């Protein structure tokens, strides 16, 4: 296949992906997120049936943007780490102490891809021991696909934005302490950046997110 034919094939694939995107203003304002490689990875996920379409933006974090995605009638959460603006030094500190990823070297994209794999594996490990986290569905390079916490327009808010009665606050605190213990004793993980910013409040229960910052006990 000639270079021109390959470029035309790429453009065709991107056009197909763009026709699947809903509320596509996000593509116009988030240029740092949707680079050429990320668009191709999104196309791959769409071609495998993992997602059918992208929805609107949920939030923007320090390292990643969260979007809604759709497959069939189900809404998912799509976390896309920004290659151009992620804090690679901080990521490397978390990765190099982890025996699963300690040998990761190379480009910024390779580091971010390793970080995404780490978050996927940590979510899986936490879920297996009964900790409430978003169910991980798939990942590819800098893209992580998870269950959306909440429903429709009512995406679960972070705990920092929730006002709780004293009894509810005590109950939530005790549940979080229980999850910390379970993560440590059964999953062999410690969430190294746990706060009210990365705990969601869903139907009266806490859900722990940002599991990429979790480290193994031998870190």
As annotated, the active-site residues are 193, 210
65/158 Cα distance (integer angstroms): 15
Tokens 């990320």, residue located: 38
Token code pair at residue 38: 């990320």
Residue with tokens 């769409």: 46
Give pairs for 104-111: CB < 8 Å, separation 24+: 108/83, 109/37, 109/83, 109/141, 109/142
Quote the CA–CA distance of 118 and 22 in Å, as a whole number.
29
Quickly count: other Cβ atoms within 10 Å of residue 216's Cβ.
17
Q: Residue with structure tokens 């976390």? A: 79
Q: How far apart are CA 164 and CA 170, in angstroms?
A: 9
What is the rounded distance in angstroms from the CA atom of residue 101 to the CA atom of residue 176? 27
Q: How far apart are CA 95 and CA 142, in angstroms?
A: 15
Crossing angle (nearest 10°) for helices 3-20 and 36-47: 70
């Amino acid at each position: 296949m000639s270079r021109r034919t390959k470029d035309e094939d790429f453009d065709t694939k991107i056009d197909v992906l763009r026709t699947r995107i809903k509320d596509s203003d996000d593509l116009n304002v988030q240029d740092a997120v949707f680079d050429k490689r990320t668009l191709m990875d999104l196309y791959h996920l769409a071609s495998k049936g993992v997602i059918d379409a992208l929805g609107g933006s949920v939030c923007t974090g320090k390292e990643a943007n969260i979007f809604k995605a759709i497959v069939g009638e189900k809404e998912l959460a799509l976390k896309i780490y920004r290659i151009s603006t992620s804090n690679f030094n901080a990521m490397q500190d978390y990765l190099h102490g982890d025996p699963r990823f300690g040998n990761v070297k190379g480009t910024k994209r390779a580091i971010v891809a390793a970080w995404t794999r780490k978050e996927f594996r940590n979510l899986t490990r936490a879920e297996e021991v009964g900790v409430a986290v978003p169910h991980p569905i798939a990942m590819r390079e800098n893209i992580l696909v998870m269950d959306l916490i909440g429903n429709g327009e009512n995406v679960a808010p972070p705990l920092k934005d929730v006002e709780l009665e004293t009894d509810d606050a005590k109950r939530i605190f005790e549940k979080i302490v229980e999850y910390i213990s379970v993560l440590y004793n059964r999953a062999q993980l410690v969430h190294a950046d746990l706060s009210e910013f990365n705990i969601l409040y869903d139907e009266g229960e806490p859900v722990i997110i940002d599991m990429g910052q979790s480290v193994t006990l031998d870190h």
